[in-house]
Amino acid sequence: VPEQQTRLLNKAAKDKGVGIIGPATVGGIKPGCFRIGNTGGMLDNIVMSRLYRPGSVAYVSKSGGMSNELNNLIARNSDGVYEGVAIGGDRYPGSRFIDHLLRYNDNPNVKILVLLGEVGGADEYEVASAIKAGRITKPLVAWCIGTCASIFPFEVQFGHAGALANANAETAAAKNAALKEAGAHVPDSFFSFGDKIKEIYDGLVSSGSLVPAPEPETPKVPMDYTWAKRLGLVRKPAAFISSISDDRGEELKYSGMPISEVFAKEIGVGGVLSLLWFRKRLPSYATTFVEMILMISADHGPAVSGAHNTIVATRAGKDLVSSLTSGLLTIGPRFGGALDEAALMFTEASDCGHEPEQFVKDMRKQNKLIMGIGHRIKSLSNPDKRVEIVKEFALKHFSDNTVLNFALAVEGITTRKKANLILNVDGCIAVCFVDMLRSCGAFTKDEVNELIESGCLNGLFVLGRSIGFIGHHIDQKRLKQGLYRHPWDDISYLSEDM
């Protein structure tokens, strides 16, 4: 705090009868009650210095760092600290040595006073005068640090703003001598400061003037997490776990494969997807098939619900992410979301050894739709080219097409009833994807089932169709299309008058 502001603060505090510690201070502590600032340090140091319960010694210091040393010295050489304050080393502290020492002297719980002064200023002389005048009657152990300043041939400015002797009387040696003459207990050096505290303490105990309180049980303090983590004693529990990518090293890795290797081996989008979705590197024909699915499912014109929603949102002025989300939210059992269910339905029937005709009858009895069967436009006489492409690729490259063959057998039965009850593109992709996973050699049968149940097939549709939705958004922006309003003549209005 700037000195001018400090002086204004001190005046305001004095007018209001408020005491200030500092402002340049580490704080103060009253063991067993509270601490202000960071006095005492970490919890383990507080326990070691027995600052969890009051002792009989009260101290005042300018230095915050040395106040922590006093906590340690007093704990080792007496029954501990009753109260301690570091007033700070600025030239205009909010409180002075004498303010705190008089408080301590008047407190019946305090038996020994400790003062740690320093070179510079004259506050210690005020303390010496109080001793001579009988205002301070309790034993005071005092020392002014900075006695080494006399060995320098020039004036030395120590760390604090006020730690500079502007006259001989402000040197540490002169103030130590004055305090000793007044009756304070001043050791020969700081090295014996703790011994002097112990000497006074033992004398008071021997005379019966000080009766140490029974030592309470030492509290169990949890280990400081930051400190323990730095030493490798503990580890932070993970907020979540990821097994598919790692960006901590020199380069990004996908399931252990460095990004440079991804490009060097030209594994393509299908290879990256297999690493991130399946944590496996699939054969090239399998990654090609994945890319085929994305290309086939990328778009199906502007009339389908997802594209329609995307276009309407775009024309309403929404951004790309909002428009894309509007389209994606239409994906479900009736639009694009049937792949997982078709895969599960056909796979389960095939694995159970059901005959295709019996499977169709059972589904009819249960009044259930066969997911992946049926198309509004395409039929036996007007086949879906996308289905033909997927089917031909699977029959050519996959070593096992069990589920596909079962689905084609079901199609042969359903189309007898109606020509458009064909294996549609969703169903064809679903069954071929199961055959691909099972026959590529990278997964067990249980792993394939788990992948299908996790929703990866619908994920492929979402990923692929996002390409088209984004395309429609960009297309509408490019065409500068305005707000869409559905034509009223395309709506059947039902009114009570009818």
- Give residue 212's identity as a one-letter amino acid code: P
Q: Report how far residue 52's alpha carbon sits from residue 448's, in angstroms, rounded to the nearest whole number.
A: 61
Contact 270, 463 (CB under 8 A): no
Q: Report how far residue 244's alpha carbon sits from residue 256's, in angstroms, rounded to the nearest whole number.
A: 8
Give the helix/strand (H/E) hosting 227. helix 225-230
Q: Report how far residue 81's alpha carbon sits from residue 99's, in angstroms, rounded to the nearest whole number.
A: 18
Cβ burial 350-381 (10 Å sphere, 16+ → b, else e)? beeebebeebbeebeeeeeebbbbbbeebbee
Q: Report how far residue 288's alpha carbon sits from residue 451's, in angstroms, rounded to the nearest whole number.
A: 19
Closest CA to 171 of 111, 122, 105, 230: 122
Could you write out the DSSP letters of every residue in 129-144?
HHHHTTS--S-EEEEE
Longest Cα–Cα distance in the chain: 120
Supply the angle between the helices 456-478 and 445-453 in degrees, to the nearest 10: 40
User: Catalytic residue positions?
Assistant: 160
**Bond before 23 cis per omega within 30 degrees:** yes
CA 217 to chain centroid: 36
∠ CA(121), CA(124), CA(127), 5° rounding? 145
Read off the tokens for 185.
Answer: 């207990």
Own/partner pairs, 163-168, CB within 8 angstroms, 24+ separation: 163/62, 163/89, 163/118, 163/119, 163/120, 164/119, 164/120, 165/119, 165/120, 166/120
